[in-house]
Amino acid sequence: MIAFPNCKVNLGLHVTAARPDGYHNLETFFYPLAVHDALEIIPAVAPRFTATGLDIPGDPDDNLCLKAWHLLKNDFPALPPVAIYLHKAIPLGAGLGGGSADGAFMLRMLNERFSLGCSLERLEEYAARLGSDCSFFIRNTPALATGRGEMLEPFALDLSGYSWLLVCPPLHVSTAWAYRQLEPHPPAAPLRELLSLPVLAWKDRLVNDFEAPVMAAHPEIARIREQLYAAGAFYAALSGSGAAVFAIFPKNKIAALPWESGYRVFSIP
């Protein structure tokens, strides 16, 4: 069985409070975008993980795909071992939730392939144990998120009438570091109100709290956003804790910009 985990971007992100468990409460809007990994599972004699494409740092045993299998194996002892093949194309440490998407798609695939009978709600609970961003990818539809990012409310905002550009400089921003830079505070205006404004009105209103500290540490990221606005973007912002910057352009009006070598750029017309 094969699936194509996609990435997400955050439209607005407020970090509202530090929590006793070391995490933070946030308020954000998750929007799925069509930049994909490829993930295949094949029944095997023992669990096995093979990765190609972009390099994934760290121990392969810590990969969220394997972690997802172990999580379900714990509650479903009859779950057969699988060989997992992951082709990684979603940039890592970019705030695009690529690892989270792989983990969530793995849960969905195992549930379907081996008829485990888990509801979407139950899969979301498993996903939350893999990572804060992970639950979103179970339904994978636009949603407002609160709590650690795992409390989801569908929010029907269709942005398919625009063209998107995703610009990923060769920088890896640590999510834990980014959270430590912030002074949590309640948002000035509720996110759902801001999202209801026309896209053209979002600039300077729809804020990602990570932008100030991340752009101060990496001025290159601020320059990317400036270039995107100068090229006619309706809205441009950091995704999650970065380093990816996304831009929303009028349909089929994405400017061809001379990005430096080493940048990964994805265009979604």
Ligand X SMILES: Nc1ncnc2c1ncn2[C@@H]1O[C@H](COP(=O)(O)OP(=O)(O)OP(=O)(O)O)[C@@H](O)[C@H]1O
Instruction: List residues binding ligand CDM (CB under 6 A).
Output: 10, 13, 23-24, 26, 28, 95, 97, 100, 131-134, 148-149, 175-176, 179, 240-241
Alpha-carbon distance 138 to 126, whole Å?
10
3-state secondary structure of 263: coil
188 touches, from ligand X, ligand CDM, none (C-beta below 5 to 8 Å by class): none
Is 95 annotated among the ligand-binding residues? yes
Contacted entry of ligand CDM, ligand X, none for residue 148, CB cut-off 5 to 8 Å set by kind: ligand CDM
User: DSSP string spanning 11-28?
Assistant: EEEEEEEE-TTS-EEEEE
CA–CA separation, 76 and 207 (whole Å): 42
| Catalytic residue flag (residue 8) | yes
133 in catalytic set: yes
Q: Which of 67, 88, 102, 133 is catalytic?
A: 133
Nearest approach, Cβ of 36 to ligand X (angstroms)? 12
Phi and psi based region of residue 154 (left: phi greater than 0; alpha: psi -120 to 50; beta: remaining): beta
- In the complex, what is the shortest distance from the CB of residue 241 to ligand X, in angstroms, rounded to a whole number? 6
Kindly list the residues in this chain that would bind ligand X in the complex (CB under 6 A).
56-58, 62-65, 86, 88, 92-100, 102, 133, 175, 240-241
Nearest CB to ligand X, comparing residues 163 and 239: 239
CB of 240 to ligand CDM, least distance (A): 3
Environment class of 73 (CB within 10 Å of its CB; exposed 0-12, middle 13-18, buried 19+): middle
Closer residue to ligand X (CB): 96 or 107? 96
The interface partner of residue 176, options being ligand CDM, ligand X, none and the CB cut-off 5 to 8 Å by kind, is ligand CDM
Residue among 8, 67, 88, 102 flagged as catalytic: 8
Write out 38-107 in H/E/C secondary structure. Answer: EEEEEECCCCEEEEEECCCCCCHHHCHHHHHHHHHHHHCCCCCCEEEEEEECCCCCCCCCHHHHHHHHHH
Minimum separation from the CB atom of position 230 to ligand X (A): 26
Q: Of 111, 98, 85, 58, nearest to 264 (Cα)? A: 98
Query: Residue positions in the annotated binding site?
Result: 91-101
Q: Which residues are catalytic?
A: 8, 133
